[in-house]
Chain A
Amino acid sequence: EAQVTQNPRYLITVTGKKLTVTCSQNMNHEYMSWYRQDPGLGLRQIYYSMNVEVTDKGDVPEGYKVSRKEKRNFPLILESPSPNQTSLYFCASSLSGLNSYEQYFGPGTRLTVT
């Protein structure tokens, strides 16, 4: 089954404790992206990757890191989480051609930083 998986689905952590949210897709997609969803703000793009070893900042990259060492994986790293990073996080992937418009979303990760 074609899918994007994220782990963990729920995470409660404390300020300053490094964490990684994993994202993996099995569709051989070149393009992957991370979003955060907050009430009243919709989804905002954090980082995206056009292919292996190629990443770029989205609209809200501060406090986050990413890496793309393999095509299928795109982990999101919070080196020193803070309470304002409490949010719902989505990973998404798609093909990268001009006509490749559809993004496939993961199930989301609910992160709480206390």
Chain B
Amino acid sequence: AQTVTQSQPEMSVQEAETVTLSCTYDTSESDYYLFWYKQPPSRQMILVIRQEAYKQQNATENRFSVNFQKAAKSFSLKISDSQLGDAAMYFCAYRYLGGFKTIFGAGTRLFVKA
């Protein structure tokens, strides 16, 4: 069975600094998607970034980038130039390509200090 593990329940970063959130996963599949979702206090789930497993190039969306290590089954999220609005719960998620089940990690709560 696929699993997703986020080993950092909480992280803290100073405004304008860089922070990296960790995620590891376990799967026997070779084709899949990986995602990072942001959940602010409003509880809305917001897709931050996605990575297709068949792509070697790491995905980037503005200040958000990932470090995807397929062999190590690692998928970390780097947030550069952190802003107060980045404070939220962040979930790592896995979805098998063509499948309908999405597996989420337990989440990492990110605090941003002014």
Query: Considering the chains assembled together, what is the distance between the CA atoms of A87 and B43 in angstroms?
Result: 13
A105 pairs with B107, CB closer than 8 A: no
User: Which positions 83-104 of chain B face chain A at CB distance < 8 Å?
Assistant: 91, 93, 95, 97-98, 100-104
Q: Which residues of A contact B (CB under 8 A)?
A: 31, 33, 35, 40-45, 48, 50, 56, 58-59, 88, 90, 92, 96, 98, 101-103, 105, 107-108
B9: which A residues are within 8 A, CB to CB?
40
B33 pairs with A105, CB closer than 8 A: no
Known: A42-B91, A101-B95, A102-B50. A33 touches B45 (CB 8 A): no
B44 on the A face (CB < 8 A): yes
Known: A33-B100, A43-B104. A88 touches B91 (CB 8 A): no
B91: which A residues are within 8 A, CB to CB?
42-43
A50 pairs with B105, CB closer than 8 A: no
Query: Considering the chains assembled together, what is the distance between the CA atoms of A90 and B47 in angstroms?
Result: 14
Q: Which residues of B contact A (CB under 8 A)?
A: 4, 6, 9, 33, 35, 43-45, 47, 50, 52, 91, 93, 95, 97-98, 100-107
A44 pairs with B104, CB closer than 8 A: yes
A42: which B residues are within 8 A, CB to CB?
4, 6, 91, 104-107
Known: A33-B102, A45-B101, A56-B100. A105 touches B95 (CB 8 A): no
A50: which B residues are within 8 A, CB to CB?
100
